[in-house]
Amino acid sequence: MLSYIIRRTLYVIPVVFGVALITFLLFNVVGWNAASQMLGKRATPEEIAALEKQLGLSGPLPEQFLHYLKQIVTFDFGRSFATQQKISTLILDGVLPSLSLAVPIFLIDLVVAIVVALLAAYYRNTWVDRAIVVGAVMGMSVSTLVYILAGQYLLAYEWELFPIWGFESVKFLVLPVVIGFISGLGSGVRFYRTVVLDEMYQDYVRTAFAKGHTERSVLFKHVLKNAMIPILTSVVLSIPFLYTGNLLLENFFGIPGLGYLSVEAIFSTDYPVIKAVVFVGSVMYVFASLLTDICYALVDPRIKLR
Partner 1 sequence: MSDAPATTLWQTAWRQLRRNRLALACLLIIVLYALIALYAEGAYRFYKFRDQPPPYKVVNFEHRFAGPSVRHPLGTDSLGRDVVLQVVQGTRIAFTVGILTSAIAIPIAVVLGALAGYFGRRTDDFIVWLYTVFDSMPGLLFILAVAIVVGKGLVGVCLGIGLTTWVGLCRLIRGEYIKHRERQYVLAARALGVSNLAIIFRHILPNVLHLVIISFSLRFPGAVLTEVVLSYLGVGVQGEPSWGIMISDAKLRLWQGHWYELGGATAAMFFIVLAFNLFGDALRDALDPKLRTVEAKTA
Residues at the contact surface with partner 1, assessed by CB under 8 A: 14-15, 18-19, 21-22, 26-27, 30-31, 34, 124-125, 134, 137-138, 140-146, 149, 153, 157, 194, 197-198, 201, 240-241, 243-244, 247-248, 262-263, 266-267, 269, 271, 274-275, 277-278, 281-283, 285-286, 289
Question: Please, which residue, 145 or 161, has the CB nearer to partner 1?
Answer: 145
Question: If DSSP codes are grouped into helix, strand and coil, which group holds residue 79?
Answer: strand
Q: Are 54 and 64 in contact (CB under 8 A)?
A: no
Residue 41 vs 44, nearer CB to partner 1: 41
Whether 48 and 36 have beta carbons less than 8 Å apart is answered as: yes
Q: How far is the CB of 280 from partner 1 (least distance, A)?
A: 9
If the CB atoms of residues 165 and 170 are measured against partner 1, the closer one turns out to be 165
Report, in Å, the least distance between residue 251 CB and partner 1.
8
- SS3 helix, strand, coil % of the chain, rounded to 5? 80, 0, 20
The rounded distance, in Å, linking the Cα atoms of 233 and 239 is: 10
What is the C-alpha to C-alpha distance for residues 105 and 192, in angstroms, rounded to an integer? 16
How far apart are the C-alpha atoms of 6 and 9, rounded to whole Å? 5
Give the number of other CB atoms < 10 A from CB of residue 30: 10
Least separation in angstroms between CB 22 and partner 1: 6
H or E element at residue 206: helix 203-210
The DSSP secondary structure of 95-124, one letter per residue, reads HHHHHHHHHHHHHHHHHHHHHHHHHHHHTT
Name the minimum Å distance from CB 198 to partner 1.
6
Q: How far is the CB of 272 from partner 1 (least distance, A)?
A: 12
Cα distance between residue 95 and residue 259, in whole Å: 10
Q: Minimum distance from CB of 263 to partner 1 (Å)?
A: 7
Taken as a whole, the chain contains a residue count of: 306
CB of 127 to partner 1, least distance (A): 13
Report in angstroms how near the CB of residue 189 gets to partner 1 at its nearest.
13
SS3 52: helix
What is the residue type of 133? V
Nearer to partner 1, 134 or 299 (CB): 134
| Closer residue to partner 1 (CB): 14 or 59 | 14
Tell me the β-bridge partners of 79: 86
Spatial separation of the C-alpha atoms in residues 133 and 127, rounded to whole Å: 10
Query: Please, which residue, 138 or 161, has the CB nearer to partner 1?
Result: 138
- 75/153 with CB nearer partner 1: 153
Closest CB to partner 1 among 141 and 169? 141
Nearest residue (CB) to partner 1, 115 versus 149:
149
Report how far residue 40's alpha carbon sits from residue 268's, in angstroms, rounded to the nearest whole number: 12
User: What are the residues whose beta carbons fall under 8 Å from the beta carbon of 125, sequence distance 6 or more?
Assistant: none
Q: How far is the CB of 170 from partner 1 (least distance, A)?
A: 26
Q: Residue 152: which of 261, 260, 254, 242 has the closest Cα?
A: 254
